[in-house]
Amino acid sequence: MQIQLTLNGTARQLDVPDHTLLVNVIREHCGLTGTHVGCDTSQCGCCTVHLNGRAVKSCSVLAAHADGAQVTTIEGLGQDGLHPVQEAFSRCHGLQCGFCTPGMIMASVDLLRQIPQPSREQIEEGLEGNLCRCTGYVNIVEAVHEAAQVMQGSQA
Ligand code: FES
Ligand code: FES
């Protein structure tokens, strides 16, 4: 099956087996291993990427559904320097082992696009599809909260 997509701003044409998942296109066919696989059953959120600007769990999306789409992974987020959400995760120690972090950050960026100034409860709700086995949720929520402040300041 031939698919075409724009991955992190670069047009890609790929020949992949039918029923290939988007996460496998990203990791195996394109070599971008920042998108992680934790469960493969749409529970952990480690595989979260942006599909046409919205966060999706790429282990639950067929490559065929990404045909013609814009896909952004964690590698594409900070192409002009670190994204404010990445900087905030670093400053606030919003990660421990880092396995969940790419998915957390991609989900957080989408959350802040939808709700630029979320309450802590809205951040928790927005990230409830992303699991952290290091139980670093307090600092993750703080990082998203801080990123929202920084991003609002940069737009002022
Ligand atoms: Fe996709 Fe866990 S690997 S949700
Ligand atoms: Fe280890 Fe979240 S930082 S799983």
Task: Give me the domains of the chain, ranges plus CATH numbers.
Answer: 2-76 (3.10.20.30), 84-151 (1.10.150.120)
Question: Which token pair is 131?
Answer: 């699991």
Q: What is the pLDDT of residue 95?
A: 95
Stated length of the chain: 156
Closest ligand (CA of 48)? 1
Q: What is the pLDDT of residue 156?
A: 54
Pocket probe mutation, ligand 2, options 99, 106, 130, 138, max atoms within 8 Å of Cβ: 99
13 DSSP 8-state letter? E
- Residues lining ligand 1, Cβ inside 6 A: 37-40, 42-47, 57, 59
* Type of residue at 156: A
Mean pLDDT of 87-92: 97
Task: List pLDDT tens digits, range 21-71.
Answer: 999 999 999 999 999 999 989 999 999 999 999 999 999 999 999 999 999
Q: What is the pLDDT of residue 92?
A: 96
Q: What is the pLDDT of residue 45?
A: 98
Q: What is the pLDDT of residue 154?
A: 75
